Every structure is written in structure tokens, then in C-alpha cells.
Amino acid sequence: MEIDHQRWYQGLGIRLSRRQYDPLIPIPAENLSIVKTTCADFRPFPEARVEVITDSPGRIFDFILGSYGVIRNPYAALAFIGDMRQPHVQEAVGYTGEAVVLEATALNLGTCWVAGFFSPAAVTHRVKLAPYERVLAVSPLGYPLAEKTLAEKALTGFANSRKRKPLTELISGLSEEQWPIWLKSALEAARIAPSATNRQPWRFFIEEKAVTISTDIGKLDFKVSKRLDCGIAMLHLEVAALYSGIHGRWELQDSPQVARFSYA
Ligand SMILES: Cc1cc2nc3c(=O)[nH]c(=O)nc-3n(C[C@H](O)[C@H](O)[C@H](O)COP(=O)(O)O)c2cc1C
């Protein structure tokens, strides 16, 4: 399956992490089936896959004492799974997982990448993993509550969700007047990608006919790899480029670089 840029582009600007769901609205079977088809068919990297979980998905988020339950009442969940033998597994999972997130967004479903507090054991009870696979993150899936509850607002504030670094802080290389016109919107699309604790670890080096994404240096990864965040930003950049008619290709790179997008 190719990137469905016509469908996913709109989602770039409207997607937000949603943590609390309406328990009374089920996901219609046809929409769930579309999400499952995207999981099965969008496999640009063999080392990354996404599974849909519908069997008591709330259990996956019952991590601390149950009462911490920041994620409430998801109708389903996504599990973002990687083959840990592969060196580029993190960015592959970020890229592949965000495609499913953007498809869910196109179906008006809420999502939230969760790599911190979830129960890997609850996932492995529901999804069969190979010994070399790991669940790198999960997401609730469902119809979010129309209004954010106070708890959700507090968490959004805690994650400093809405704020993004200005593009000028993130780029180096060719100056803006030397860019092709479409590039700014593609970089903006990458800039607004979600990242763990909204840390936005991506940096962009602009050359003639290429953009390289790297992780910021000097700050620790903590538990979640910055390469996963950068994989998400890679997909955003490519969706926006395709929307402007630009076809490029990614070459994965070693740390601190993540990947280089070159186009004709
Ligand atoms: C890899 C990754 C891991 C995340 N882990 C968590 C998490 O454990 N708990 C949580 O509430 N939000 C988590 N988030 C959501 C971020 O806090 C959120 O994406 C960020 O604050 C930006 O907000 P937005 O998604 O609404 O644009 C995670 C996001 C990413 C991309």
C-alpha cells in the first residue's frame, strides 16, 4: 500500500492526542475494518507492524494502580510492534504507526501514542509476538469525548501539547530563499508531528534536493527513543511532499542522523 496522501494530509493539522473516550459510541465495523486493512497493507518496513486490539483494550492502559487511568474508555487500541534485531526499528515503527494514526484521524477516530505508561503484558495477552519483537508503544482508538475533561486538559497542559518549536530553531543548511516552494509546508508538517513529552527532537538539514532528519544532541532519550519520534516526523514530511506532487525516497542513516529524503 502506498501513502494515501490525499486522505492523510488533512489529518496532519487536525490530529491531537486524545486520552478520554466516549464509552457509548462504538467504532462501526466498517471503520474498524479500514483501520485493520491499513495495518495489514501499509508495511513499508518489514521490521514494523501495527495490530488492532479490541479485546478489553482498557486493560492495556491500567498501568499504575488503575486510578492513574489517564487513558479512559478506549473502544479499541493499536499496538506498535518492532523487530528488535533490526537497527532502524524505532524510526520504522514511528513511520508505520503514524500512517495508521492518520488513517484513524481521517475516520474521525481519536488516538494518542503512549510509550510511557502501558502494560506490555496486557498487550502480549492479546497479540502474538515473535521472541525478537517488542511493543514500543500503544494508542487508544475510539471516539473521544466531545469536551475534554479536566483531567485530560491537565494532562494536555502537562505535556505542553500545543506548543511547537519555531522552524527556525530546527533547520540548518540552505536558507529559506533557496528552498523550493513546497518544502516549507513539508517541514511545517514534520514540525507539528507528535513526540513523547512533546520534546520535538527532530532537526532538519536542508541541501539541494534533499532533507536529512537527525535527532537533537546532548539530551538523553530517557525511556523512549527519539528515533521513534523522528520516524513519525518522516511520515508527516513525506505526506505533505506528496500532497505537493513531490515523490522522494528515504535512506535510513546511523545516529545521530535518522534518514535522508532525496527527490528529483
Ligand atoms: C512516541 C510517543 C510517546 C508518547 N507517550 C505518551 C505517554 O506515555 N502518555 C501520554 O499521555 N502521552 C504520550 N504521548 C503523547 C504526547 O504527549 C503528545 O503527542 C505531545 O504532547 C503533542 O501533543 P499532540 O499529540 O496533541 O499534538 C506520546 C507521543 C509520542 C509520539
Give me the pLDDT at residue 67, please. 44
Question: Which tens digits make up the pLDDT trace of 22-50?
Answer: 999 999 999 999 999 999 999 999 999 99
In a domain, residue 226? The reply is yes
Residues in the chain: 264
The best mutation among 60, 93, 112, 134 to test binding of ligand 1, ranked by most ligand atoms within 8 Å of the C-beta, falls on: 112
CA 116 to chain centre: 14
**Does 205 lie in the same domain as 132?**
no
Neighbours of 150 (CB within 10 A): 7
71 Cβ contact list (under 8 Å, min separation 6): 19, 20, 58, 61, 112, 114, 140
Same domain, 172 and 130: no
Mean pLDDT of the residues in the chain: 93
Same domain, 200 and 110: no
- Total Cβ atoms within 10 A of residue 2: 8
pLDDT at 163: 93
* Final residue in a domain of this structure, among 132, 157, 182: 157
- Count of domains forming the chain: 2
pLDDT the model gives residue 66: 46
Q: 262 φ, ψ to 5°?
A: -115, 145
- Whole-number Å distance between alpha carbons of 18 and 138: 13
Q: Does some domain include residue 162? A: no
Q: In CATH, what number is assigned to the domain containing residue 76? A: 3.40.109.10
At 68, the pLDDT band (50, 70, 90 cuts) reads: very low
Q: Are 230 and 256 in contact (CB under 8 A)?
A: no
Q: Which atom from ligand 1 is nearest to the alpha carbon of 159?
A: 21
Cα(178) to centroid of ligand 1, in Å? 34
Same domain, 153 and 182: no
In a domain, 132, yes or no: yes
Pick from 251, 155, 235: nearest CA to 193:
235
235 lines ligand 1 (CB under 6 A): no
83 and 180 co-located in one domain: no
Q: Are strands 257-263 and 133-141 parallel, antiparallel or unpaired?
A: unpaired
Greater confidence, 61 or 161?
A: 61
Q: Of the candidates 104, 139, 157, which is a domain's last residue? A: 157
What is the pTM for the complete model shown?
Answer: 0.95
| Whether residues 205 and 105 fall in one domain | no
Distance 263 CA to ligand 1 centre (A): 30
Supply 86's cell numbers: 533490526
183 and 139 in a single domain? The answer is: no
Same structural domain, 108 and 38? yes
Same domain membership, residue 239 and residue 131: no
| Same domain as 152, residue 171 | no
Position 70 confidence tier, pLDDT thresholds 50, 70, 90: confident
Note down the domain range covering 236.
167-263
The model's pLDDT over 108-134, given as tens digits with 9 standing for 90+, comes to 999 999 998 899 999 999 999 999 999
**136 found inside a domain:** yes
The answer to whether residue 229 is domain-embedded is yes
196 lines ligand 1 (CB under 6 A): yes
pLDDT band for 217, please (50, 70, 90 cuts). Answer: confident
For residues 66-84, average pLDDT: 85
In this structure, what CATH number is given to the domain that contains residue 238? 3.40.109.30
Q: Is residue 231 assigned to a domain?
A: yes
- 64 shares its domain with 185: no
The reply to whether 19 and 41 lie within a common domain is: yes
Q: Given 139, 157, 175, which residue is the final one in a domain?
A: 157
Indicate which residue's Cα is closest to atom 19 of ligand 1: 194
Per-residue H/E/C for the chain:
CCCCHHHHHHHHHHCCECCEECCCCCCCHHHHHHHHHHHHHCCCCCCEEEEEECCCHHHHHCCCCCCCCCCECCCEEEEEEEECCCCCHHHHHHHHHHHHHHHHHHCCCEECCECCCCCHHHHHCCCCCCCCEEEEEEEEEECECCCCCHHHHHHHHHCCCCCCCCHHHHEEECCHHHCCHHHHHHHHHHHCCCCHHHCCCEEEEEECCEEEEEECCCCCCCCCCHHHHHHHHHHHHHHHHHHCCCCEEEEECCCCEEEEEEEC
Ligand 1 atom closest to 118 (CA): 8
pLDDT tens digits, 220-262: 777 899 999 999 999 999 999 999 999 999 999 999 999 999 9
